[in-house]
Each structure stands twice: as C-alpha cells, then as structure tokens.
C-alpha cells in the first residue's frame, strides 16, 4: 500500500501537512476589512462631517430625502421638504438628562426662527417609545415638532454618538454648525449667524432655564 506521501513531487509539502497559516491570514484580513467598513459607516461619518464643518466647507446634510414618521401625528417629514429655510435638527430622547437641560435653548431658537419666518427646530427621537417622547414634549413644553428615527438611519448618517446632538442646516440644506452634546445660547447664536439668518436668542439663557 503506497504511503500518503507517495504522490507528492520532490520538494512539495503533502496536502495533509500544509500549514494552516494562509487560511488564518485570509480570515484575519476579512475581519479587518469588516471592521474598517463598520468604522466608515459609524465613526467615519462623524469624523468626516465634523472635519468638513470645522473647515467651513458646509457639506450637504445626508439623507435629506429620508421620510421619517411624525411624532404624535400621522404623516412623515423629510429634511428636503423643509429646504428653503433654516432647520435646526436636534437628536433627543426622553431618558436623556442633558436633552432636558438644553430644551429651553432649543425652544427659544425655534420661536426666534418662527417669529422671523426663517426656519424651525426639528426634533429627532432616538431609541424612545412614542408615548415616552410625548410625555416629555408636554413636560418640557417643546414648541417644535419631532420625528421618529425608528431605524436610526439619520442618526448613523450624521455619525451620532448619543443624544443630545444638534445639526444646523442653512436654507440650502448645508450643515453649517453641529454640536455633540447639549448646546449653549452662545453656540445657538453663532450657528444662526453661520446659517445666514437674523434670528437670535437671549445670550444669557442658561442650560436648564425655564423656557
């Protein structure tokens, strides 16, 4: 009976004894590519958008045509529908304490924009039941509408890391300012100026103040 190595050419390593290293290398390469792709879809979005805004490039806001269900009423709203005026997009949740702290500032921004016909604030709820969100809308006396980002599509498109986050879009739908965390009155006024509108809020309005 011939040995298992009988068919091997001189100098060739028999199949049964070949090193498994190439397979391990290929597997590792696939994992690295997957991790890189995930990073580009999540953290990469954040890095690219933040860098562009800091450079004053005013990138077009992503997912403008995405129609999200309205909170507390029928129908949907997309950012493209609101183009032509400034939109202050705010990611929030009922379970988020900093979201409550910044609510008076966002409410003031919305009223200032509305009073001059220059735009609005649009809330975007994140991982929140509709009933819980609506309780906070009433409790925090939010004067602006919100939509539900059920699949976190908009959330990930903007590279969000967790509420609250705010993105200020000018009338052309370009991101002119953003904040990762609760906004201040100073940020709000600077962002409104960058958006090219005259609306301003009380610069002394503090986080957690009564709206």
The predicted-structure confidence for 15-54, as pLDDT tens digits, reads as follows 445 545 565 555 555 555 444 444 444 445 667 999 999 9
**What local confidence, expressed as pLDDT, does residue 41 receive?**
43
CATH architecture of the domain formed by 43-194: 3-Layer(aba) Sandwich (3.40)
Q: What angle do CA 59, 64, 70 make, to 5 degrees?
A: 140
**What local confidence, expressed as pLDDT, does residue 21 receive?**
55
Helix, strand, coil abundance in the chain, percent, nearest 5: 40, 15, 45
Query: Over 60: is that where the pLDDT of 11 sits?
Result: no
**What local confidence, expressed as pLDDT, does residue 29 receive?**
54
Confidence class for position 209, pLDDT limits 50, 70, 90: confident
CA distance 105 to 111: 10
Q: For residue 105, what are its two tokens?
A: 């500032």
pTM as predicted: 0.79
Q: Tokens 């009223």 — which residue?
A: 111
């Amino acid at each position: 009976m011939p040995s298992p190595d009988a068919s091997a050419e001189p100098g060739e390593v028999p199949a049964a004894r070949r090193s498994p290293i190439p397979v391990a290398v290929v597997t590792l390469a696939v994992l690295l590519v997957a991790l890189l792709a995930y990073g580009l879809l999540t953290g990469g979005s954040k890095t690219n958008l933040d860098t562009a805004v800091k450079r004053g490039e005013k990138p077009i806001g992503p997912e403008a045509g995405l129609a999200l269900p309205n909170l507390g009423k029928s129908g949907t709203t997309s950012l493209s529908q609101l183009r032509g005026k400034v939109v202050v997009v705010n990611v929030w949740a009922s379970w988020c304490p900093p979201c409550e702290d910044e609510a008076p500032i966002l409410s003031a921004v919305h009223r200032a924009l509305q009073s001059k016909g220059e735009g609005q604030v649009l809330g975007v709820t994140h991982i929140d039941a509709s009933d819980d969100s609506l309780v906070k809308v009433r409790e925090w006396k939010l004067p602006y509408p919100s939509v539900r980002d059920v699949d976190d599509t908009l959330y990930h498109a903007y590279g969000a890391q967790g509420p609250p986050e705010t993105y200020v879009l000018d009338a052309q739908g370009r991101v002119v300012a953003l904040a990762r965390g609760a906004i201040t009155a100073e940020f709000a006024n600077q962002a409104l100026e960058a958006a090219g509108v005259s609306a301003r809020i009380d610069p002394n309005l503090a986080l957690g103040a009564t709206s």
